[in-house]
Amino acid sequence: MATDAKDVAAQARSLWDRLSRRQIVTLAIVIIVGISTMVFFLVRPRQSDMALLYTDLSVADAADIAESLKEMRIPYELSRGGTAISVSSQNVYEARMSLAREGLPRDSTVGFEIFDKTSFGATDFTQKMNYRRALQGELTRTILQLKEVEAARVHIAIPEPELYTDREKPTSASVLVKLEKGTVLTRGQVEGIVRLVASSVEGLAASNITIVDVEGNTLFSGDDGSQTGSMTLLTMTQLEAKRLYEKDLERSIESMLTQVLGSRQVVVRVNANIDFDHTEQNSETFQPLPSGYGVIREEARIHDVKTASSAASPGGIPGTASNVDIMTSYRLDDSSGDEVSSEERTEDVTRYEISRVVEHTVKAPGVVTGLSVAAIVAAPVTEERLEAIRRSVGAAVGVNPDRGDTIIVEAMEFAVEDEEEQELVPATDKLEQPQSFGETLQRNLKYIIPTLIALLFVVVTLIVLVARRARCIDRQATQAMKQAMATLAATEENEDEAESAEKEALERPAVKSEVAARIISAWLTDNKG
């Protein structure tokens, strides 16, 4: 066994020695190209000719579609945990039309097409339930048009009419939404859903609508005409405004520090306390003028003169007439010689206007009452530089220590691996790529096997050609040796015969110098052995 191996090795070495430099270079190029092609097909990303047929399927729909594709003899592949089906790109449209003819995939949402086929035996209760189902289905389809909503369910409660209006219960509705990963509904979108549902159902008020997500978070809620729903929307607006303000400060600080410390060398978080109270204040202040007096509003002077006599007046019948007569005689009878007295009085009246100040103050919401800033920079950083960063950040965001604002800057070592690149892979319509080498090798066998066969065929062909050429060279060398031996023998016997043999040798094909050198080398090797 060892002898056979040595013979094979010797033959291979002898074959390699017989190859010319051009043949060796050609063989090396062929081998390198073959190995490179095989490695390329192994390492390159798989560009499959499979196209996505349906995605986000339920388990029941996926099973029915797979069974139908088997019956149609269309090869398929399952991915994303069985919720996506892919077929050959040439059969995508044909498969979709065939499956649509069979009613696949089945949409669990039923709209107003439920009334396309009417039944004469349907009761009034059945008609009402079908109408409710159709209305819920149409609202669900409309809500699903939002790109942030992955799935939705709408439930409408329409009470039976009562004889007395004060006993009637209001119509209510609830909406359950499932959002796409990494997305949120804005305040405007939530309010749009509320108005859409309220406008689509007769007698439904916005305050009787509740919207929740699959995580149990209440996006909108209202109670029997109360303002809970409006307050919920207001709270969402305030939270959005608060978060936008904090994000703006974070971006401002990070952009400033990035220019100094470099990219991915700083992390900043800001927490802002914002007062969203709307305050109105009326104040009325009374204050005197600098002179101590006010502004003269009204000024009047009163002059009063009184005259009286000491003599007794004649009496009379008590009454108005007698008094009038007495007064007349009192005023006119001045020559009687009685004593007369008079009184004169002058009065000045000045009225001043009181000075006052009336103020109406409206305090707009959104006043920042406190800031907390935390910044982490990549270590190592000296304490002096940390203090400089702390002062710069405080000045950039307007930190006020008297208001209770805080700022913290710390130096820490950052993680080596990039966590941002290892987050969730965005959902695309491409097929899942195999991760292990075994799966990659198995999927690319249809490319590897033909490549190996072609490479083997080329190598065998080159070996056969080289061997055939080597045999031809050996045959020519043998003939040349025989001719040379015959020529030498003839020279020893007869010079004439040598001359004739030499002529014959000249007439025959000449032996190449390379062949002669190989023959001599072979002789020397045999003699040494």
Written in H, E and C, the secondary structure of 503-518 is: HHHHHCCCCCHHHHHH
Rounded CA separation 246/268 (Å)? 10
The mean predicted confidence, pLDDT, of the chain is 76
pLDDT attached to residue 423: 45
Q: What residue type is assigned to position 462 of the chain? A: L
| Sign of the torsion formed by the C-alpha atoms of 38, 42, 45 and 48 | positive
Which of these ranges, 22-26, 120-124, 225-229, 490-494, has the smallest mean pLDDT? Answer: 225-229
Helix, strand, coil distribution of the chain in percent, nearest 5: 50, 20, 30
| Residue range 381-403, pLDDT digits in tens | 899 999 999 999 999 999 998 99
Which of these ranges, 161-175, 234-248, 284-298, has the smallest mean pLDDT? Answer: 284-298
Tell me: pLDDT of 309 over 70.
no
pLDDT tier at 256 (50, 70, 90 boundaries)? Answer: very high
Contact 70, 27 (CB under 8 A): no
pLDDT attached to residue 250: 93
Choose from 32-46, 168-182, 448-462 the range with maximum mean pLDDT.
168-182
Cis peptide before 450 (omega within 30 of 0): no
CA 71 to chain centre: 40
Rounded CA separation 380/321 (Å)? 119
Which carries the bigger pLDDT value, residue 2 or residue 529?
2
For residue 305, what are the β-bridge partners?
344
Which of these ranges, 92-96, 113-117, 171-175, 197-201, has the smallest mean pLDDT? Answer: 113-117
Which carries the bigger pLDDT value, residue 129 or residue 48?
129
- The stretch 343-371 carries a mean pLDDT of 80
- The stretch 420-428 carries a mean pLDDT of 43
Tell me: pLDDT of 434 over 90.
no
Q: Which two tokens stand for residue 165?
A: 């209006």
* Cα–Cα–Cα angle for 138, 141, 143, rounded to 5 degrees: 110
Q: Which two tokens stand for residue 331?
A: 């005023």
pLDDT attached to residue 469: 72
Contact 223, 246 (CB under 8 A): no
pLDDT attached to residue 488: 62
pLDDT attached to residue 25: 74
CA 422 to chain centre: 15
- The stretch 345-364 carries a mean pLDDT of 78
For residue 227, what are the β-bridge partners?
none
pTM of the predicted model over 0.75: no
Rounded CA separation 365/274 (Å)? 8
Q: How many Cβ atoms are within 10 Å of 135's Cβ, its own excluded?
A: 20
pLDDT attached to residue 330: 44
Q: What residue type is assigned to position 149 of the chain? A: V
- The stretch 258-267 carries a mean pLDDT of 90
| Percent of the chain scoring above 70 in pLDDT | 67
Q: How many Cβ atoms are within 10 Å of 301's Cβ, its own excluded?
A: 9
pLDDT tier at 425 (50, 70, 90 boundaries)? Answer: very low
pLDDT attached to residue 326: 46
Which of these ranges, 126-130, 214-218, 505-509, has the smallest mean pLDDT? Answer: 505-509
Tell me: pLDDT of 137 over 60.
yes
Rounded CA separation 365/367 (Å)? 6
pLDDT attached to residue 77: 87
Contact 322, 316 (CB under 8 A): yes
Q: Is 169 helix (H, G, I), strand (E, B) or coil?
A: coil
pLDDT tier at 234 (50, 70, 90 boundaries)? Answer: low
Rounded CA separation 401/66 (Å)? 68
Choose from 23-37, 73-87, 198-212 the range with maximum mean pLDDT.
198-212
pLDDT attached to residue 224: 42
Tell me: pLDDT of 143 over 70.
yes
Write down the residue that tokens 């490319």 correspond to. Answer: 447
Rounded CA separation 295/289 (Å)? 8
Q: What residue type is assigned to position 22 of the chain? A: R
Q: Is 388 helix (H, G, I), strand (E, B) or coil?
A: helix
- The stretch 11-18 carries a mean pLDDT of 69
pLDDT attached to residue 430: 42
- The stretch 304-330 carries a mean pLDDT of 56
| Percent of the chain scoring above 90 in pLDDT | 18
DSSP conformation class of 201: S
Tell me: pLDDT of 497 over 60.
no
pLDDT attached to residue 290: 66
Provide the edge-to-edge strand list for the sheet that holds 149-157: 149-157, 171-179, 204-213, 218-220
pLDDT tier at 108 (50, 70, 90 boundaries)? Answer: low
Tell me: pLDDT of 419 over 50.
no
| Residue range 31-78, pLDDT digits in tens | 787 777 776 666 554 445 678 888 878 787 888 888 889 888 888 888
pLDDT attached to residue 82: 80
- The stretch 314-325 carries a mean pLDDT of 53
Which carries the bigger pLDDT value, residue 194 or residue 118?
194
